[in-house]
Copies of this chain bind each other. A is one copy, B any other.
Amino acid sequence: MDQRHATALKAAGMKATPKRLAILEMLEAEPGYASPEELWKRLKDRFDRLGLPTVYRNLEELSASGVLSKVIHPNRQLYYYFCSNREHHHHFVCLSCRKVEDIPACGIEALEQEVSKRNGGKVLSHILQLNGLCGGCADNGEKR
């Protein structure tokens, strides 16, 4: 567990600090995505000192390194999700309970090539995310 995360951090060229490991542990245990502040509130107890900016900074770095993934939320706040799927794929995120489900890569690579060929441009990244309500939430009609 710890060792896995430490290894992942090293592989990303980042020091395996206790706080980073704690962030990864907590997010991995999380059933869905979480906000920086939520994580901070829960992690504060485990450290005598832990700044909110540290959580922000690490989440961003970890997401940039591909260790975590970021959720694009309609309310434009930041949310992160621990995703161990190393294949190229996308996410279906529940706006109610925050569950995240993997979506296998679809035809996007082909689309990228198509765009490159037709317009001569270069696709640097793409965003594909399905928003909705997962099975449970759709039944209950819950909203968050």
Contact = CB atoms under 8 A, between A and B. Distances in A.
A125 to B, nearest CB: 5
Contacts of A135: 119-121
A133 B127 contact: no
Task: Give how many copies assemble into the complex.
Answer: 2
Contact of A119 (B111, B124, B126, B134): B134
A133 B121 contact: yes
Contacts of A131: 123-127
Interface stretch (A13-21, A45-53, A100-108): A100-108
Contact of A112 (B94, B123, B130): B130
B119 A125 contact: no
Contacts of A95: 124
B120 A126 contact: no
Given A72-B72, A106-B107, A133 B137 contact: no
Interface size range of chain A in the complex: 20 to 34
A122 B138 CA distance: 6
Contact of A125 (B124, B132, B137): B132
A117 to B, nearest CB: 11
A129 interface: yes
A129 B115 CA distance: 12
A137 to B, nearest CB: 7
Which 7 A-B pairs rank lowest in CB-CB distance, beginning with the nearest?
A: A120-B135, A123-B132, A121-B134, A124-B132, A122-B138, A126-B130, A125-B131
